[in-house]
Amino acid sequence: GESVGLHLPTLSVQEGDNSIINCAYSNSASDYFIWYKQESGKGPQFIIDIRSNMDKRQGQRVTVLLNKTVKHLSLQIAATQPGDSAVYFCAESYSGGGADGLTFGKGTHLIIQP
């Protein structure tokens, strides 16, 4: 399938290590944030979300941290596996204006080395 990571920053980690993917968001009014995983040839897959009234949320092997002061979001993946290789996007939205689409960050291409 087509690669979606050709022009994106790349993060390479060893299998079993932890990885941290960072994202700077643009709108200080954004109150909802999502991390997506996109594998080659597929649509984005929802991983985890966080609302602005929280600064940390954990899922299975993933943790999202939100720092509203500096408008920074991070995704931590524990004990990475080969299946974690993909492009990861953060996305933000603001609910105050009614239902809106998402604004996506640039994306990071995560490569898991065997």
Partner 1 sequence: SAVISQKPSRDICQRGTSLTIQCQVDSQVTMMFWYRQQPGQSLTLIATANQGSEATYESGFVIDKFPISRPNLTFSTLTVSNMSPEDSSIYLCSVERGYNEQFFGPGTRLTVL
- Give me the residues that bind partner 1 (CB under 8 A), please: 2-8, 32, 34, 36, 42-46, 49, 89, 91, 93, 95, 99-107
Distance in Å, CB of 51 to partner 1, minimum? 8
Distance CA 83, CA 66 (A): 25
Spatial distance between the Cα atoms of 45 and 68, rounded to a whole number of angstroms = 24
Task: CB nearer to partner 1: give 41 or 114.
Answer: 41
Which amino acid appears at position 92 of this protein?
A: E
Compute the least distance from the CB of residue 63 to partner 1, in Å: 18
Environment class of residue 44 by beta-carbon count within 10 Å: exposed (0-12), middle (13-18) or buried (19+)?
Answer: buried
Q: Which residue has the tokens 């490569």?
A: 111
Of 15 and 100, the one with the shorter C-beta distance to partner 1 is 100
Cβ distance to partner 1 smaller for residue 12 or 114: 12
- Residue 17 Cβ vs partner 1, minimum distance, rounded to whole Å: 26
